[in-house]
Amino acid sequence: LSHRPIITLTTDFGTNDHFVGVMKGVILDIVPEAEIVDICHSVQAYDVLDGALTISQAYSYFPNRTVHVVVVDPGVGTARRPILASSDKYHFVAPDNGVLSLVYARENRMHVRHITAQHYFLQPVSNTFHGRDIFSPVAAYLAKEVDSLKFGEELEEYVRFSAPKPKAVDANRIRAVVLKVDRFGNLITNITPQDVPTLFGEGAKSFKIAVGNREITELRSAYAEGAPGEVIAILGSMGFLEIAANRGAAAQLTGASKGSEVSIILGDAAAAGKGA
């Protein structure tokens, strides 16, 4: 091979069973020189949006020609298609259920193929573990530089969805949502600087963010700027507004969790609200 092949794995398989180890065995049996990297195996079970969010946060840091395998696959064994999506830099191997939606949103010129070349599969193919029988061997052959054209025909249509976006309720009110809670109890919202520019930067208006049982009126720039027990807002490393706490868990302090509503009131309305 002309370079060291790198394959990443993102699944909802957890690490309590043999599933991930089996996938690695299948890959190494085909391409023993591969470097296999776990991105995350704790995607919420069956949660395609959570998987989409995870791979979209990680894939772009890897070297050119990395093969990313993404298996969150509640429809395994049904008519849902296995796909190979290729951009200029990367290959993605996944079920066609939208788990690559946030990759499609960031990468131009994706070619998406229906994987049908069964001679690359591990036989017999089960109805319950395509991570082992289809996605891993296909990734391994891609890492061995088998041409993507050989895996199947290009698709015009494939499943994609949009991540939930903040919604303007009126001129000064925005309704957003907690996309996920991270390991530290930070609440990752779906608010980006593009969505609500007036929250961020130099000309930022005054605002009030309500989440769970707390209200926040200021943006901080580091977790450590929070006082003990204080709930703060910060532009996090994922590119989203986070609700956080210094050495504490905002999820616990606010009572909010994944899916909780986040309300933003901008400008004078927020200031008025403060006085109430």
Contact footprint for its own copies (CB under 8 A): 3-4, 6, 8, 10, 12-22, 24-26, 28-29, 32-33, 35-42, 45-46, 54-55, 57-63, 66, 74-78, 126-129, 132, 182-184, 221-225, 234, 236-237, 242, 246-247
For its own copies, the closer CB: 126 or 213: 126
Task: Please state, in angstroms and rounded to a whole number, the distance separating the CA atoms of residues 35 and 171.
Answer: 51
Instruction: Name the token pair of 207.
Output: 């605002």
Give the shortest CB-203-to-its own copies separation in angstroms: 20
The residues, any chain, with a CB within 8 Å of residue 154's CB and separated by 6 or more, are 111, 112, 113, 114
* 174 neighbors 168 (Cβ within 8 angstroms): yes
Task: Please state, in angstroms and rounded to a whole number, the distance separating the CA atoms of residues 235 and 238.
Answer: 8
For its own copies, the closer CB: 182 or 215: 182
* 257 neighbors 178 (Cβ within 8 angstroms): yes
For its own copies, the closer CB: 155 or 219: 219
For its own copies, the closer CB: 17 or 88: 17
For its own copies, the closer CB: 4 or 167: 4
Give the shortest CB-40-to-its own copies separation in angstroms: 6
For its own copies, the closer CB: 28 or 163: 28
Give the shortest CB-191-to-its own copies separation in angstroms: 15
Q: Which residue type does 189 have? A: T
**CA distances in angstroms from 99 to 46, 47, 53, listed in the order given:** 10, 9, 8
Instruction: Name the token pair of 48.
Output: 């395609």
Give the shortest CB-99-to-its own copies separation in angstroms: 14
Strand, coil or helix: 69: strand
Give the shortest CB-41-to-its own copies separation in angstroms: 7
In terms of Cα–Cα distance, which of 250, 202, 218, 242 is closest to 57? 242
Give the shortest CB-217-to-its own copies separation in angstroms: 20
